[in-house]
Amino acid sequence: MSDDINDIKYAIEAKGLSKSFGGLFALKGIDLSINEGECVALFGPNGAGKTTLIKVLTTLSRPANGKVLIAGEDIKKNAVAVRRRIGVVSHQTFLYDNLTAYENLKFYGKMYDVPDLEQRIVDVITKVGLESRLRDRVGIFSRGMQQRLSIARAILHDPPIMLLDEPETGLDEQARSTLSELLKTLVAGNRTVLLTTHNLEWGFALADRLAILVKGKIVYEDSKQSLDMTTFRETYNRCVGARS
């Protein structure tokens, strides 16, 4: 396990990644490279394999073939080291309803060996604007507040890489824009972000680079500079429509 990540080119690098069972492929030869500090949005319809891809990248699921390096660590050989370097926000919060915000953060902080934990908890809870609710049970929080706390949980151990799996699902308009603001500050903090969503406008606004996943394959990938939203929507519809 090397802690020296300076000489590594990509924060996330997947080559020929596939996941299959008995001839049915969920992911078919994914090649994806994400630079350090870059924010990539991955779009795709339901069942395209977005969640499967995130689960493989976060070591929750084992790929059938291919190689993945996260911050230079192989996800198969060095899963624990990979987990230390990633923060994950999903449409589920990973928070315990019966515990308070503080207890949830303290639990995860201990699991990640976060140094100076008490101070760190105060820092992250302030970042997501929930400092007044620290001693309240998570169960009584609104969906939006829970998702903000979930972000606090994900950045608790200060991971250089964030993976966000449809984090906006189930949030109302206001909570979604708060989430955008939060994510922008995260990206500004020089973190690498991979974001999956099926909300085109929302993801488009956040990302530096865009990719479209359809039926387990990345069918489109481009940086945002050359695009506006209308063109991208057309591209998306063509990619999804042509293959379904």
Partner 1 sequence: MKIRGSLRNNTLLGLGFALMMISLYLMFIYVPTEKGMGIIQRIFYFHVPLAWVAFLAFFVVFITSILYLWKRDTKWDTLAHASAEIGVVFTTLVLITGPIWARPEWGSWWTWDARLTSSLILWLTYIAYLLVRSFAEEEEKGARFAAVIGIVGFINVPIVYLSVNLWRTQHPPELVSDLEGSMLLTLLVSITTFTILYCLLIMRNVSLKSGIAEVKRLRGLLEE
Partner 2 sequence: MINYLGKVMTIFFKDLLSEFRTKAVASSVLLFAILVIIIFNFAFESDSDTIGLVAPGVLWVTFTFAGVLSMNRTFVVEKEKGCLEGLMLCPVSRDVLYWGKMISSLVLMLIIEAVVFPIFLILFDLPLWMPRLAIVALLGTLGFASVGTLFSALAANTKARDMALPIIFFPVVVPVIIAAVKATDLILNSGTWHEMSSWLEILIAFDVIFLVVSALVFEFVIEE
Least CB distance to partner 2 at residue 83 (A): 4
Residue 84 binds to partner 2 (criterion: CB under 8 A): yes
Is-contact 82 160, C-beta < 8 A? no
Among the residue ranges 80-88, 117-125, 126-134, 194-202, the one whose residues contact partner 2 (CB under 8 A): 80-88
CA–CA distance, 222 with 123 (Å, rounded to integer): 36
Residue 88 binds to partner 2 (criterion: CB under 8 A): yes
Among residues 140, 108, 139, which one has the least CA distance to residue 125? 108
158 burial via Cβ count (<10 Å: 0-12, 13-18, 19+): middle
CA–CA distance, 119 with 90 (Å, rounded to integer): 25
Nearer to partner 2 (CB atom), residue 113 or residue 116: 113
Among the residue ranges 102-110, 123-131, 206-214, 219-227, the one whose residues contact partner 2 (CB under 8 A): 102-110
Nearer to partner 1 (CB atom), residue 195 or residue 214: 214
CA–CA distance, 144 with 30 (Å, rounded to integer): 32
Residue 61 binds to partner 2 (criterion: CB under 8 A): yes
Cα dihedral 131, 133, 137, 143 sign = negative
Residue 60 binds to partner 2 (criterion: CB under 8 A): yes
Of residues 2, 65, 92, 231, which one binds partner 2 by CB under 8 A?
Answer: 92
Nearer to partner 1 (CB atom), residue 51 or residue 197: 51
Question: Which structure tokens are listed for 30?
Answer: 């994914």
Question: Which structure tokens are listed for 36?
Answer: 């350090």
Which residues here bind partner 2, judged by CB under 8 A?
55, 58-62, 80-81, 83-84, 86, 88, 90, 92-99, 103, 107-108, 110-113, 137, 153
